[in-house]
Every structure is written in structure tokens, then in C-alpha cells.
Amino acid sequence: MTTAAIITAAGRGLRAGGDVPKQWQMLAGRPVVAHAVAAFDGMRRVLVMHPDDRARAEAIGLDVQIVEGGATRTQSVRNALEALAGQGISRVLIHDGARPLVPQKVIAAVIAALDQAQGAAPALAVTDALWRGAAGLVAGTVPRDGLFRAQTPQGFRFDAILAAHRAHPAEAADDVAIARAHGLDVVIVAGDEDNLKLTFPGDFASAEAILRGRQMDLRVGNGFDVHAFCDGDGVWLCGVKVPHGKGLLGHSDADVGMHALTDAIYGALAEGDIGRHFPPSDPQWKGAESKIFLAHAMRLARAKGFALANCDVTLICERPKVGPHAEAMRQALAAIMEVAVEKVSVKATTSERLGFTGREEGIAAMATCALVRA
């Protein structure tokens, strides 16, 4: 399934004030909208922008498709949906560019809910008492049972929300309102207090404080793996089949580099290793593609609230030569992990003909990864 993210950033941010619209103001050293875009790393991303801001986006080189916004948020979203129409997108997440700190676990929860539902959106139950005020006095109390504070990303099956927007030319508070007006059910998933929408000037200090707390929560893991050579005509290394006069022996496809990387991620999460999640004694994993393991480790990281900061894999062998394939390996790993390729390093070394790798009895791999709270 192809998931796209629409990041709305065409508003003028009048309530926040400032010299530039709020989504282009700096937060921890980069524009607010760059944080929001980065949260959807690895997905097809559309940034809806005001034409006056185009140069700002080009200056920071975001890896996004740019679509021009409209006079209202609803119109901006509609323009982005139309730009994605007919391109094989199955699910779309619609997110405010002014919500730069959306946690990975919120995004993961919305995506997971879309397996069953046509729409899903995060929200927080109202916990404070609600008053009606008049002339500075409390004029009444409003029952809060069943009331929620809506957040984004609001996720939908793509064709369903496109049809809903086309059938609903009027303005709406958000995309959930448009979906519901078209008869779609929208599941509520757990929102998060970190997922604040920058609306007023004081919100920036709150966001900076949240980011400082997250930067303290860095997890590092390492992984190591070895597979022996056997008869064959090639080896799977970091998701690429490399032609060779031998194969690699293993219960799965024996992708030694991917196994080391997967274990590094489990290690950073203190979640054991591949063998714990995919026991070799279980026949269903015999001959399995190692990308199943790596994708699982990354899903677990996101569900626990972490994003990949970077990873580095070193393959240790005399042959085959890895250099000509290293770029394709980076691309393959990044696609499986759904992260930007800049975060993935693959390199190789020999062991100077010493030891089992030097005698060409097998290939070893080691990997390091860093996960950040996100």
C-alpha cells in the first residue's frame, strides 16, 4: 500500500505574528515546517504552500512535491488531493505544517487503524471542566463527556477522502468533518500532548522545551552477524542480490548485513534480537526475506516513539566486492525502513586475508544505529 502525506503550510499564521508566517519561523535551528515534513520521512510527501513562500522552501531543499495552497485550509487540502489523484496512492495522511512535533507513535497508530477503517484521526479527551463565559464571568458549565480535542494527521483511504472533498465544496473545520459529511466512519486514536499546533507566539517556547526533552532521549544499538558460504550463484547483502560464485547459508535468505542492522535496532530498543521475534525453530521463517525482520524492527521503534537518526552497516569480506553495490544497498535499506537515504550508510572492509572472512569461508557484518525520541 502506498501512503502519502499532505502537509498543509499555506496559511498566513496571523495569530502567531512574527516577521514570517509561523511555519517558516525557526524552531531548534530549522523551520517549523521542516520538522513536520521530517516526521513523514520515507513517505511520498506533498507540501501545500502559499506562492509567496516558494523561495523559502527551495532554500532549505525539502524533498517534497510542492502544491500551491488555496484561500482556506480546506481548499489547500483539496488542491493537494487533486495533485495526488490517479497516482496509485492508497492511503493519505493530512497533517498541519504547524504541528511540528507529531510523535511517531501517533502516525503509526493512524496508519494501523486504516487497516480496518476508512478514516482515523488522533485526539485527546477533554479533561478540564468546560465553562461558558460571558462578560468575564462564568455563565455555565458544559458537560465534557465524549468531547475530544482534534489533532492531525487525519488519515483516510485515498479514494474515499478524494470523493468526499469533491462532493463537499464548502468549508469545514477539518478533513474529518468532510469525511463524516460524506458518510465515512472515522476512528479516534490516541493523540499526544506533544502534538501541539503552534497558534500563538507563546506556543514556540513550549515546542522548544518539548524538543529539548526529546534530544536527551537518544538510544544506540549495535548488531553483529555471520553467515557461512555455501554453493550458489550470489549472495543477498543489504537487500541487493550480488552475483558471486557462492551463496550464503542460513535459515532465512541469509542477508547478513540486514540481520546485523535489524539487531542494532532491536538492541537500541532493548528488545532482544531477531531470534526472539522470529525464532529459527519456527518453520514459517524458513527462507523468509530478511526485509520482513527489518520492517518489523522499524515498526516497533515507531510504535515505541522513536525515529531513526542514522545507521551504519559494515560488511566484512574479501569478495564479492561491495563498493559497486553500496549505493543500491543504501537505497534498498532506506526503502524498507521508510527513512531518507541520507540516514543510511553501507560500507565494506576486508580482514586482510586473516580469519574466516580472510579465508573466504563466510561474510560478517556489523551495524550501529541511533534512534531519537520523535
Ligand X SMILES: C[C@](O)(CO)[C@H](O)COP(=O)(O)O
Ligand Y SMILES: Nc1ccn([C@@H]2O[C@H](COP(=O)(O)OP(=O)(O)OP(=O)(O)O)[C@@H](O)[C@H]2O)c(=O)n1
User: Which residues contact ligand X by CB under 6 A?
Assistant: 73, 96, 150-152, 173-174, 197
195 binds, among ligand Y, ligand X, none (CB under 5 to 8 A by kind): none
91 vs 51: CA distance, rounded Å? 27
- The response to whether 349 counts as a known ligand-binding position is yes
152 binds, among ligand Y, ligand X, none (CB under 5 to 8 A by kind): ligand X
What three-state secondary structure class fits 286? coil
Cross-strand pairs, 40: none
10 binds, among ligand X, ligand Y, none (CB under 5 to 8 A by kind): ligand Y
- The response to whether 336 counts as a known ligand-binding position is no
What phi and psi values does residue 229 have, to the nearest 5 degrees? -70, 150
The residue among 13 and 239 lying less far from ligand Y, judged by its C-beta, is: 13
**Which residues are CB-neighbours of 37 under 8 A, at least 6 positions away?**
7, 45, 47, 62, 63, 64, 97
Cell (9 digits) for 162: 478524494
| Binding window for ligand Y (CB under 6 A); candidates: 91-99, 154-162, 252-260, 365-373 | 91-99
Residues 134-172 as b or e (16 or more Cβ within 10 Å = b): eeeeeeeeeeeeeeeebbbbbbbbbebbbebbeebeeeb
- The response to whether 244 counts as a known ligand-binding position is no
314 vs 312: CA distance, rounded Å? 7
244 vs 168: CA distance, rounded Å? 58
Asked whether position 70 contacts ligand Y by CB under 6 A, the answer is yes
Binding mask 190-209 for ligand Y (x = CB under 6 A): -------x-x----------
Binding mask 6-35 for ligand Y (x = CB under 6 A): --xxxxxxxxx------x------------
The residue among 23 and 151 lying less far from ligand X, judged by its C-beta, is: 151
Residue 153, preceding peptide bond in cis (omega within 30° of 0): yes
The amino acid sitting at 230 is: C
CB 193, min distance to ligand X, A: 14
Question: Do the Cβ atoms of 212 and 360 come closer than 8 Å?
Answer: no
Binding mask 95-134 for ligand Y (x = CB under 6 A): -xxx------------------------------------
117 binds, among ligand Y, ligand X, none (CB under 5 to 8 A by kind): none
97 binds, among ligand X, ligand Y, none (CB under 5 to 8 A by kind): ligand Y
**Cβ-proximal residue to ligand Y, closest one:** 11
**Binding residue positions:** 225-227, 251-252, 259, 273-275, 349-352, 356, 359
